[in-house]
Amino acid sequence: MKSTFEKEPPVAHASHRWEENEHCLHYDYNGKPLLSIFIPEGAKPYYREASNGNIQSSPFVQQIYVALDKPALVKVNIHLSKEALNMRPQRAVKGQAILGQIGKPLLKGVNGIYDVFQDLLIDWHGAGWSWTKSRLEQNETGDWQAELEVQGGLQPWIVNLRMQYYRRHLQFEHHRPWQWRPNVQPITGWSSWEAFAQRVTGKDIEKTAAFLDTHFKPYGLNVMQIDDGFQSEHIPPTKGGSVADAWIQTNHRFPDGHDGLISSIKGRGFRAGIWSSAMVTNREFVEANREYFECDSSGDPLYGQWIFNVLKTDPKTLAEQVAPLYRGLKDKGYSYFKTDQIRHFLYDGLHKAVNDGLLSNEEASASLRNYLQCAREQIGEDSFFLACWGVLTEAAGIVDACRIAGDSNPSWSAICKQMVETARWYHTQRILYLNDPDYICVRTEEAWGQSLLSLVSLTGGLLMISDNTELYDKDRIHSIQRCIPSLATTTGETGQLDMTFPLDLSLPQLGDRQMDDAFAYALLGLNAEPRETNATGSLWAIHFDLPFRRWCVAGRFAVVPLMETVLELEALALAPDDAYHAFDFWKQRYLGKKTGSIALDALELGHCQIVGLCKAENRPQLIGSSRHVSMDAVSVADERWEDGRLLLDLRGVPGTTEHYWISVPSSYGYENCSGIGIVIAVEDSDSEDSRLLKLSIRWEEEQGKADLGFS
């Protein structure tokens, strides 16, 4: 999507000016205000007045400091563009939860702001500080701003400005958010690959579409993607044809062609997705059309593992071989495109030519980028574009999503990889792309599938299930329904890529359903002794800041067996002095009111615990839900407290029943309830910390209203 912020931010100092009448130190950047630091009357500030200092190299960092001659409280305003986030300026360390966010929360102790359109990271250190408000606020021009207070004094408050942060500091050189932003809409769907592999048929798609329509579409699944198996056996099918022929002409298992596929998918109301690959496999075509292919040092067409024969990306080849492929599939009615083998195209193909001195590294990267750009131009900005696989810097600024993990399957080693790679790459989530951990195989051990579904949904990943739906029992259907749709979660932390654990450790493989602790630890390069309380990628905190409600969901995932632990709430970026109602989602159990810390369960390998934490208020309030693992960013459209009544606007699936838990302080008495579009049954119970109402709500219509009266 084209950005509305087209001016490239300079890699240059923010300029300072002192306004005596305001007693304020201002910093301006890119032609606009950036920082306003208000110094109390009677305090003398000390600050850097010129571009001296030693942090002047590339990637560029401007360090600002402010000190006072005596202790005083300093107010600071941060002025931002039309897209900004509170962001921890480093990755989670041991004992900290990985942070995600929906909305614009300002989180306890999270000492950074990322201005998305300007690719500017602002972080601060040194002096004590706190937010003055709970969320970023938007001004009359649509720009965002934040306010904090700093404990000024002789100890300096240090501010770092990292210009073009993702582009230069993290080396995603094609990331230019001031020109273009990916379409990072939540994606929830089904793919044919792990269900049927290359044996997939048109009948399989038709039958699966009917199942998905009944069981998952009402809950938010809206994409069906055909994977490898529909195309011709050889690419292209004949010596005299073109590459596009292999993809536009379906094989004998699809006698009705793409028209039949589109009819099966769109006829059920799903968005139609299609897989294709950059590979060329027909050697006769290659020999007859050498001008389209890169050559090796012997002058023969370049061959690479998985990619087979390596296309050139000059204008003629792109126009005659690549553009017709994507334009043809777009014209058939597909709007979701997955392009595979691009990592092999670059590293197993083009870089063989680099090794032989036939291409430079820059030319190889440009060639891959040319291929992706051609595809994007043909499918248009209104289509969704997934690059597979590898988080390639060349894909930034072109694709909407990147696959971040290896090939999935139902084994623990594959599922564990999906979970830890979700953690490793989380700093790119909805900044560079939508992260795709690959397909979720829910046919695996029930607890493993439930954990991966929970993690991908909460962290906002591209959620594609991929099984033969005949393998889904009642419990697996229920787990999927509780985790769809995937959420629009954005990363709440950034920093360098964590390379302290292996990507894909080759170990003796056990059976799909067999696993011992030693093997599980070895997958992550860990020693099984001592046992872990929180291992890499196991602890998450997703913060929800909606206009009507604010809460946190803590997720603990046993990527190795995890010991019981007492977790400090500060590790979740929550205020330790506040009280929070804690509710366990999968056990559907109230855990009580927690201050300072929370006790979490020991977890067997592959199991998870999902706990909602709502700040306790002195009134009846919603604290838990059965509908969605987010508890509940999906079915609750509004929550209001008006004149002794709790009012809920709800969305649901007609004919189904969900449960909602309301905490009622002892100073209130429950009186009555009524519903519109829903039927409500109420169970009243007491707990150690609070009186609870359990609402069992049956939907008669998709939209419903609940009205609960208290005295």
Tens digit of pLDDT for each residue in 691-701? 999 999 999 99
Contacts of 216 (CB under 8 A, 6+ apart): 190, 480, 481, 484
Mean pLDDT (the chain) is 94
Cα 453 from chain centre: 13
Measured over all CA atoms, what is the biggest interatomic distance in the chain, rounded to whole angstroms?
87
Tens digit of pLDDT for each residue in 302-325? 999 999 999 999 999 999 999 999
pTM equals 0.96
Q: How confident is the model at residue 57, as a pLDDT? A: 76
Residue 312 in domain: no
Categorize the per-residue pLDDT at 500 as very low, low, confident or very high, splitting at 50, 70 and 90.
Answer: confident
Are 62 and 137 within one domain? yes
Are 23 and 108 within one domain? yes
Are 144 and 46 within one domain? yes
Domain final position from 169, 194, 215: 169
Domain final position from 136, 153, 169: 169
* CATH code at position 631: 2.60.40
Q: How far apart are CA 581 and CA 692, in angstroms?
A: 11
CA distances from 358 to 135, 369, 511 (A): 54, 18, 45
Q: How far apart are CA 706 and CA 673, in angstroms?
A: 7
Cα 337-339-341 angle, rounded to 5 deg? 165
Residue 285 in domain: no
Are 608 and 624 within one domain? no
Q: How confident is the model at residue 548, as a pLDDT? A: 95
Say if residue 368's pLDDT is above 60: yes
Q: How far apart are CA 544 and CA 168, in angstroms?
A: 30
Burial 361-393 (b: 16+ CB within 10 A, else e): eeebbbbbbbbbbbbbebbeeebbbbbbbbbbb
CA distances from 122 to 18, 162, 492, 687 (A): 20, 6, 14, 44
Tens digit of pLDDT for each residue in 200-217? 999 999 999 999 999 999
Average pLDDT over residues 248-276: 97
Q: What is the DSSP annotation of 547-559?
A: TTEEEEEEEEE-S
> Which stretches does DSSP call E strand in 30-181?
32-38, 45-47, 61-68, 72-79, 84-86, 98-103, 112-115, 120-125, 129-131, 137-138, 144-152, 157-162
Are 627 and 611 within one domain? no
Measure CA of the first residue to CA of the last residue in the chain; give whole Å. 51
Are 505 and 596 within one domain? yes
Tens digit of pLDDT for each residue in 631-656? 999 999 999 999 999 999 999 999 99
Asked if residue 405 lies in contact with residue 392, where contact means CB atoms within 8 angstroms, the answer is no
Residue 301 in domain: no
Q: Which amino acid does the sequence have at 364?
A: A
Q: Which three-class secondary structure state does DSSP give residue 27?
A: strand
Q: Which of 563, 570, 511 is nearest to 538 (CA)?
A: 563
Q: In the Cβ-directed half-sphere of 538, how many Cα atoms lie within 13 Å?
A: 28
Tens digit of pLDDT for each residue in 250-259? 999 999 999 9
Are 61 and 103 within one domain? yes
Average pLDDT over residues 519-526: 80
Asked if residue 699 lies in contact with residue 678, where contact means CB atoms within 8 angstroms, the answer is yes
Average pLDDT over residues 549-576: 96
Residue 659 in domain: yes
Q: In the Cβ-directed half-sphere of 51, how many Cα atoms lie within 13 Å?
A: 10
Q: How confident is the model at residue 689, as a pLDDT? A: 66
Residue 390 in domain: no
Torsion of CA 23, 28, 31, 34, to 10 degrees: -100
Tens digit of pLDDT for each residue in 128-152? 999 999 999 999 999 999 999 999 9
Strands 401-403, 434-436: pairing is: parallel
Are 656 and 569 within one domain? no
Q: Which region among 73-87, 526-540, 542-556, 597-611 has the lowest average model confidence (pLDDT)?
A: 526-540
Q: How far apart are CA 50 and CA 652, in angstroms?
A: 59
- Percent of the chain residues topping a pLDDT of 70: 95
Q: How confident is the model at residue 519, as a pLDDT? A: 79
Are 518 and 606 within one domain? yes
Q: How far apart are CA 697 and CA 632, in angstroms?
A: 14
Q: How far apart are CA 616 and CA 443, in angstroms?
A: 39
Asked if residue 192 lies in contact with residue 222, where contact means CB atoms within 8 angstroms, the answer is no
Contacts of 156 (CB under 8 A, 6+ apart): 46, 65, 66, 67, 126, 127
Residue 474 in domain: no
Are 605 and 633 within one domain? no
Phi and psi at residue 685, in whole multiples of 5°? -145, 160
Cα 462-466-469 angle, rounded to 5 deg? 135
Torsion of CA 321, 324, 330, 333, to 10 degrees: -110
* CATH code at position 546: 2.60.40.1180
Domain final position from 616, 638, 671: 616
Strands 384-387, 336-340: pairing is: parallel
H or E stretch at 648: strand 645-651
Q: Which region among 23-27, 51-55, 172-176, 222-226 has the lowest average model confidence (pLDDT)?
A: 51-55
Q: Which of 459, 645, 651, 638 is nearest to 540 (CA)?
A: 459
Give the number of domains in the chain.
Answer: 3
Cis peptide before 389 (omega within 30 of 0): yes
Contacts of 21 (CB under 8 A, 6+ apart): none
Q: How far apart are CA 586 and CA 503, in angstroms?
A: 29
Q: How far apart are CA 341 and CA 221, in angstroms?
A: 26
Q: How confident is the model at residue 2, as a pLDDT? A: 63
Q: How far apart are CA 475 and CA 210, in angstroms?
A: 19
Q: How far apart are CA 411 and CA 228, in angstroms?
A: 21
Are 526 and 594 within one domain? yes
Q: How confident is the model at residue 525, as a pLDDT? A: 78
Q: How confident is the model at residue 516, as a pLDDT? A: 74
Residue 78 in domain: yes
Q: How confident is the model at residue 499, as a pLDDT? A: 85
- Range(s) of the domain holding residue 38: 15-169
Residue 695 in domain: yes
Tens digit of pLDDT for each residue in 350-362? 999 999 999 999 9
Tens digit of pLDDT for each residue in 62-73? 999 999 999 999
Q: How far apart are CA 615 and CA 551, in angstroms?
A: 7
Are 623 and 570 within one domain? no
Tens digit of pLDDT for each residue in 451-460? 999 999 999 9
